[in-house]
Amino acid sequence: MLVLAAAGLLTSAASYAGETLPAVQAEAQVQVTSQLAVSHTLTPERFNAGKVGDNAVVARGAVALTSGGKISNVTLAWNRTVNPNDDVMLSGFGDRAAMRDMSGDTLHAVAYVQLEPVTPVTASVGVKSVVYSLTTPGSEFDYTVNLMSGV
């Protein structure tokens, strides 16, 4: 069974003191071999004071089967319309994205983020997506979106 889920459409950075993430959208596409119900949630973390550090979790995601069955593989991909793949930090890494803090046409900040699996997996990072193969197939795959360190 293969579950395809699009990673969140993160639209703003949370890398400076006192900022919070805006609403985060998620969408899912599913290909399965039988009738199964799948949910995909992406929940932003809130930061009310202080600078957000390297590797900080800025969102938490979960892909879950809601009708029984087991997930073997999950493919996550950024919506590149919202999170463009337009610089060297992102080029060729399907698990990375940039969050841009925009006001109209003015860019205020850019933060780089990376998908990090919480569920034990092996990962195959492609140019446009990353495929996670669960070590033990189960009913849920959990991941986080973290600020990239050393950027």
Nearest 10 degrees: CA dihedral of 87, 81, 103, 88? -10
Maximum average pLDDT range among 7-16, 70-79, 134-143: 134-143
pTM: 0.75
Domain hosting residue 69, numbered range: 2-147
pLDDT bin (cut points 50, 70, 90) of residue 102 is low
Which CATH number fits the domain that encloses residue 126? 2.60.40
Biggest CA pair distance of the chain: 48
| CA dist 91 → 76, 98, 136 (Å) | 16, 11, 31
Judge whether residue 145 has pLDDT over 60: yes
Query: CB–CB of 78/94 below 8 Å?
Result: yes
Q: How many domains does the chain divide into?
A: 1
pLDDT of residue 29: 56
pLDDT bin (cut points 50, 70, 90) of residue 20 is very low
pLDDT of residue 119: 96
Note the pLDDT tens digit of each residue in 37-96: 777 787 777 766 667 777 888 888 888 888 878 888 888 888 777 666 666 667 778 888
Q: 99 pairs with which residues across the strands? A: 111
Maximum average pLDDT range among 41-45, 69-73, 103-107, 110-114: 69-73
Closest by Cα among 84, 37, 102 to 64:
37
pLDDT of residue 107: 61
Helix (H) or strand (E) holding 3: strand 2-9
